[in-house]
Amino acid sequence: MRGLLARRMKFHFIGAFLVSLGSATLYKFAVAEPRKQAYEDFYKNYNPMKDFEAMKAAGVLESAPPK
């Protein structure tokens, strides 16, 4: 039992640090990076005129009613 508290505290402080780093890394690769990638993928081949024509045909625009 000699040095048990010191050993245990060292173990758990390292453990706590790893848990917090791990949860931040998990959030980064599960949420943040996919979100960035989703925006990149959306705008990579985005055609604003085609999107606009689709909205116009659907009749959702006040300034550009469908013919």
**Binding residues for another protein (CB under 8 A):** 5, 8-9, 12, 15-17, 19-21, 23-24, 27-28, 31-32, 35-36, 39, 43, 46, 48-49, 51-52, 55, 60-64
Q: Which of 16, 19, 39, 38 is nearest to 27 (CA)?
A: 19
Structural Rg of the chain based on CA atoms: 26
Least distance (Å) between residue 37 CB and another protein: 12
Taking the complex as a whole, the smallest distance from the CB of residue 1 to another protein amounts, in Å, to 13
For residue 32, give both structure tokens. Answer: 């943040």
Minimum distance from residue 41 beta carbon to another protein (Å): 13
- Closest Cα partner for 65 from 13, 29, 55, 11? 55
